Amino acid sequence: MSLDMPYPDPAVETMEKSQKDLSQDSESVVIAQKPCKSRDWLKFAPLWIILILVATIGLTWYLLEVGTTPGLRIPKLYACSLKIVSHELTYDLTRPASKAFKTESEHLQKLVSDLVLASELAVFYNSSTVYAFGEGSLIVYFWLSLEVPDTHSPYVTMNSVKAVILNVMKAKTSIKGTYIFDQYHVDPSSFNIQEAKWQDRQLHSSAIGCYRYTYVRAGQEIYLKGPDYLYTTCTWHLQGPPGHLLKVWLKWTRPDCRDRLIMYDSAAPLASALITSHYGCTRQEPESEVLSSGNVMLVLWKQGMYNYDDPFMLTVQPLPIESCQHSIVLKKTLEIQGQLRTPYYPSYCPPNFNCTWNFMVPSPDYGIVLHFEGYKLTRQYTYEPCFSGLWQVQTKRMCGLRLLQSYSERIFAISGNVTVSFTNNKILTGPGIQASYSLFNLSDPCPGEFLCITNGLCVPLCDGVKDCSNELDERNCVCPAQYQCSESGSCISVSQVCDGNKDCVNGTDEENCQQAVPCSAFTYKCDDGSCVKKPNPECDSVHDCRDKSDEKKCDCGVQALENRLIGGVTSQEGEWPWQASLQVQGIHVCGGSLIANRWILSAAHCFHPERFASPEIWTVILGKIRLSRSSQKEMSFKVTRLVLHPFYDEDSHDYDVALVLLDHAVPLTSPHVQPVCLPSGTHYIPTDSICWVTGWGAANEYGPSVDTLQKVDLKIVSQDVCSDLYRYQISPRMFCAGYRDGSKDACLGDSGSPLVCKGPRGRWVQFGLVSWGAGCGIPKYFGVYSRLTRLVGWIHNVTGVS
């Protein structure tokens, strides 16, 4: 079988042949070129060998040098000082902008750099900058900056830097013991160093344009000129004589500002040396005294949002550094025997100090009680830092804690000696600390009272008021807020005791009424410390106390007055002669009561708003009946001081009491202006007693104040009912009064007005003052009043009136 195929195209055939030939030729070329390429590589072999050797050497150097040296270098900054004994401080050196300051700084910066470069720190040295000078002979303050690899950082510390630099100076000291550089003779022992941060240096630099240096000598007190308001930041560099610390007194002169004052225990604004910071004309501390640990201090001012001319006053004075080691021999008495105080109390605690008190206890039957106000001790089982002082009480480590309560620490003397130490390791300090000390009987820690284990305080037992936080003082009481007849165990009202009628079966309620008895919740304590059985014996024209103290200070209580009341009745002139109207710019704001010839008692919440915090804005009017008109029987006074209870709590209204000091004494010659009587701490007012409140408050919750002084009778409510009604917001310093139907109540504008109860011989005793409540005249909700029997001790301490 034949297959007919076309003849190939000569051109295609030629092309295919050519490609085939070319392919064969290329193959032959490649084969021919291989020997040539191998020879070229050998030609460049020396170059490749050199490159490999360089790379190997470089890698080896990197691994040996760079690999062991970190790329990260950590900056370290220190604030240092040295004493130049060959030079003296001049005025120009206290002015950073002067030519003398700049020239001297350059020379001394060279001194510092040579010191560092001559030491092991040379490889880390970055720079040194002089920022201030001081007296004695010439003290130079400078920044020292190092840059340390991170692997070396743990070994380059403040102490190691100090040791290294001291070694350089001591190695080159002269016969006189000084290190000499050029014309400068340096005292090596004067070298001081503190850790700093770059933010500290920046803060200091921001105030360099408004820098003031002041040296204050022993016995001087210097007023510091206010800040220059062309700047937003100023500093006062303060220095005193050796062996002294500095006390800076600060007083805010305006009720409102946003300035900040920061005080440091160093010549530079170091965060690690911060003592305290005051902000915004603080009303909590209108005045304060701040102490340093040594003879150098820095005060830094930062301007607030608004520009006020001198919103504060500053003075500085040096005080000798005193030892705080005390040995105390206690006597066999349960009375207070003295106080433990931080140095220069009530000034702020100085930074970094230690106090120790060694007590000698007269008998193993006694322990020691330390009583604090606004401060307590808590057991510290770890070594966490204590921010308000570290206490060592015998073998117990305890931390101080500031709070708005009283507290007692009871110490059981294992041997005849008790050691108590207090250390303030933190730079940041606070107000000074004081504690009174006395003995207590181990077998009977609180005679006639109950010991609260939660706070160490002795409180009345079974008086109807739950003083202990765990309420144990009112638990298991057979006769709560009553007198228990000893022979039968029956209960009678306290007011029936020593009233001339035998209410108990065997008449035990009328026994021992003319002699001293053990003190208890309802006995009256005489000035000599003894107690009488008769309740409320004061000012009844009968001498019940052996020292007759129950009949002293009885020129009070001849009527009473109050403000804004619901269901009230108009008062008459002279009916409530202690009633006061506290006004701002002629407008009645709160009520009050005259308790002494220069003191008005009112509520703390009246003065808590910022706009009412300054005493200068207040006017007190006594003898007033109508707000819209004046009479010749009225007396007007300016206010020089407002004293709020230090434990007042704005949220809970606890300790809602304040004292107002008048600019001059009240002439007690008019029957229309007379003081009210204050109760004793054990004054007894039975539940359901009728007492009176007076005032110019609104007639209803949303109404305006009334023009004429009103009076209203209110019923004293049981403490348990009051507490249950307000869901346990009632503290032992509060009580309720009023009616369940809300027909009679105090209201807005009555705050601070007195609630008075009629006592023996017709004298009126102020038992409470208007504090707070759930609205005005709301059914089922009583008004809440401050209980003065729990607050009268503080009133006496402030006024000096008993």
Catalytic residue list: 605, 656, 751
Q: Which of 426, 272, 248 is nearest to 353 (CA)?
A: 426
| Residue whose token pair is 């002699």 | 515
- The radius of gyration computed from the CA coordinates of the chain, to the nearest angstrom, equals 41
Query: What does the DSSP assignment read for 92-118?
Result: GGG-TTSHHHHHHHHHHHHHHHHHHHT
Own/partner pairs for 627-630, CB < 8 Å, 24+ apart? 627/581, 627/588, 627/696, 627/705, 627/707, 627/708, 628/707
Non-local (6+) Cβ contacts of 791 within 8 A are 645, 655, 657, 733
Helix (H) or strand (E) holding 80: strand 73-84
DSSP assignment, residue 408?
E
Residue 491 CB burial class (10 angstroms; 0-12, 13-18, ≥19): middle
Q: Which two tokens stand for residue 393?
A: 């009480």
Q: Who's near 247: CB < 8 A, 6+ residues apart?
A: 289, 290, 291, 316, 317, 318, 319, 344, 347
The residue assigned the tokens 């609260």 is: 452
Which three-class secondary structure state does DSSP give residue 772?
Answer: strand
C-alpha pair distances (Å), 239 with each of 201, 212, 225, 265, 293? 20, 11, 16, 11, 12
**Phi/psi at 741 (nearest 5 deg)?**
-80, -5
Closest by Cα among 340, 352, 336 to 377? 340
What are residue 695's phi and psi, to 5 degrees? 165, 180
Q: Which of 708, 672, 714 is nearest to 693 (CA)?
A: 714
